[in-house]
Amino acid sequence: MNWLQNIIILIIGFLLSQILIAARTHHRLIEYLLGHSRTTTGGLLTATLFLSYGLSIFFSNTVVVLAMLPVVRKLMAVFKNVENRKKLAALFYCALIFGANTGGMASMTGSPLNIAAAGFADFQAFPGTEHLTFFSWLMVGVPLTFALILAGRWLLLTNTPADLEPSVSLALHRAGSFLPKKPLLFFISNVVLIFVLSAVQFLFTPGPLVSGLNIIDLSFIMYLLIILFFSFIFPRKVATVRNTLKNIFFLLLFLAAFPVILASKTLEQLEKRLHVPFGKAYTALDRFLLNMINFFWKNLFGETFSSLSIYNFNSVLSINRIILEIPWFGLLLMSFSALLLLLIISIGDNPATPDIDGWIFTLFKNFSSWITSSSNNPALLFGIIGISTIFATEIFNNTTVLFVLSPAILAVQPAFPSEQLLLLLLVTVAASGAFMSPVATPVNALAFGGLEKVSIKTVLRLGFFMNLIAAALMTAGFLLLSCFL
């Protein structure tokens, strides 16, 4: 069950990222890199680009952007009395999204979109899906995206003005900066374990043992349970039965409280960001929730919490902080976008038929079918699909494009056995390769919202050329891949 393994890898990757963020590993790593390199604009942009790229290969790129934004703002603070602050912000913005989006293409766990596409391919039983694993995606994705990230670096450096140099040296970090060896060793060992398990699944395809699960499936399930146990339940300081029980009930209480937190945060964002008058109803919900949690907690352990955001220092990760630090406004915007999308694609839909057949959906479907049926040349087919997906994503965002085009791929009459799978993967990867619009991907939206005074002109210009390079590399990569599947 590749889909089960992929979901578990995604969850484990998220938990590992939270552990490294809690240890401030990304801050310590960037300080080490800066403390042992030249402090130039090109060096700072390159460090931002490659760090966001490297982290996004193994962690969800949206999580990486949220973790990297404070680092980027710290780097930009090095520049004093810079006249063109908009261009400076645009260059760092591009470095961040070029790295995060490209890293998200490189592995199955780099973007939630990849997992969704893999699940869709597995559900539809496309020929060749049995070869689609974390291992195989990494083997193809890393070389292809590394070429793209080098092109992104070239674009950034050639568009950096000579007079845009930092006025404050970062040499002060040199003495105090050190490589965070233990967190990195922990991270690398987990990545190696995931890589080995996925490689065994890809190379040997073990048979089922229990309820359709093979030895690799069972190993991933056990691995996830171990990570969950040591992240949330096992006491970090004193391993006693009482501390273990406290961690268990802390986890269960806040998981049960999630629906109320969701309602509270939604009302808060609507009132604060969109100025919808709710009379601060979210504060009443927070007080109610805190009182309910304290009622149970005091009866169980004789203690009370002062706030919902209190950190559980008794465990490695605090579940309430993870829930509360979700980018709720971005989640709200994406929900509104999804609702708007459903309304748009339902225009002209016939309610008597179970399938979606709205005007826009039908247009995309017919366009995809026309391209695939009128072209016997795979290079032309992949090129048109790749560049069309990238620039369509600039308008509709990547989730929308994948949602609309995935069912359309079902209508394709494949010229070779794995054509449908390759087209689905091409659309998925290309949908993460939109670098122009601030709303094209969640990565772009989060980065744009987290940095002030970004030059739209610079972003559009650099993003346009990055789109063209990405389309060319994807066409070449998938054309080569079609020769082996």
Give the residue among 378, 357, 371 at the shortest CA–CA distance from 409. 371
Tens-digit pLDDT profile for residues 89-100: 899 999 999 999
Task: Return phi, psi of residue 208, to 5°.
Answer: -70, 145
pLDDT band at 172 (very low <50, low <70, confident <90, very high): very low
Q: What is the 3-state secondary structure (H, E, C) of 243-311?
A: HHHHHHHHHHHHHHCHHHHHHHHHHHHHHHCCCCCCCCHHHHHHHHHHHHHHHHHHHHHCCCCCCCCCC
Amino acid 405: pLDDT? 76
What is the torsion angle, in degrees rounded to the nearest 10, for the CA atoms of residue 89, residue 92, residue 96 and residue 98?
100
Length of the chain: 485
Amino acid 21: pLDDT? 80
358 vs 52, higher pLDDT: 52
| % of the chain surpassing 90 pLDDT | 28
Amino acid 171: pLDDT? 47
Distance (Å, whole) CA 72 – CA 92: 7
Half-sphere exposure (Cβ direction) of 402: Cα atoms closer than 13 Å: 27
Whether residue 156 contacts residue 45, with contact meaning beta carbons closer than 8 Å, is answered with: yes
Which sign does the torsion angle of CA 409, 56, 454, 324 carry? positive
| % of the chain surpassing 70 pLDDT | 87
Distance (Å, whole) CA 399 – CA 24: 30
Distance (Å, whole) CA 432 – CA 455: 22
Domain range list for the chain:
2-113+130-230, 231-326, 335-482
Does 357 score more than 90 pLDDT?
Answer: no
Amino acid 260: pLDDT? 93
Distance (Å, whole) CA 410 – CA 124: 9
202 vs 345, higher pLDDT: 202
Q: Give the single-character DSSP code of 232.
A: I
Token pair belonging to 167: 């006025």
Whether residue 358 contacts residue 349, with contact meaning beta carbons closer than 8 Å, is answered with: yes
pLDDT band at 82 (very low <50, low <70, confident <90, very high): low
For the chain, how far is it from start to end, CA to CA, in angstroms?
Answer: 20
Amino acid 375: pLDDT? 61
Type of residue at 10: L
Distance (Å, whole) CA 150 – CA 466: 11
pLDDT band at 373 (very low <50, low <70, confident <90, very high): low
Which of 146-150, 245-249, 429-433, 442-446 bottoms out in mean pLDDT, i.e. has the lowest? Answer: 442-446
Distance (Å, whole) CA 427 – CA 410: 13
Distance (Å, whole) CA 403 – CA 454: 30
Considering the chain, what is the average pLDDT of its residues?
83
Amino acid 376: pLDDT? 64
Give the residue among 427, 360, 346 at the shortest CA–CA distance from 388. 427
Report the DSSP beta bridge partners of residue 213.
210
Which sign does the torsion angle of CA 105, 325, 10, 128 carry? negative
The SS3 assignment for 452 reads: coil
Token pair belonging to 367: 């366009």
Q: Give the single-character DSSP code of 214.
A: E
Tens-digit pLDDT profile for residues 90-148: 999 999 999 999 999 998 888 888 888 888 888 888 888 878 888 889 888 999 999 99
Burial of residue 34, with CB atoms counted within 10 A of its CB: 0-12 exposed, 13-18 middle, 19 or more buried: buried
Give me Rg for the CA atoms of the chain: 24
Listed ranges 231-245, 262-276, 332-346, 367-381; the one with the highest mean pLDDT: 231-245
Contacts of 310 (CB under 8 A, 6+ apart): 320
The SS3 assignment for 192 reads: helix
Q: Give the single-character DSSP code of 131.
A: G
440 vs 32, higher pLDDT: 440
Distance (Å, whole) CA 117 – CA 74: 36
85 vs 303, higher pLDDT: 303
Does 49 score more than 90 pLDDT?
Answer: yes
Type of residue at 388: S
Helix 41-58 to helix 85-106 angle, to the nearest 10 degrees? Answer: 30
Token pair belonging to 307: 């706030």
Give the residue among 162, 122, 85 at the shortest CA–CA distance from 458. 85
DSSP for 313-331, written as a single string? TTSSS-HHHHHHTS-HHHH
In our burial notation (b when 16+ CB lie closer than 10 A, e otherwise), range 426-444 reads: bbbbbbbbbbbbbbbbbbb
Give the residue among 429, 459, 464 at the shortest CA–CA distance from 444. 459
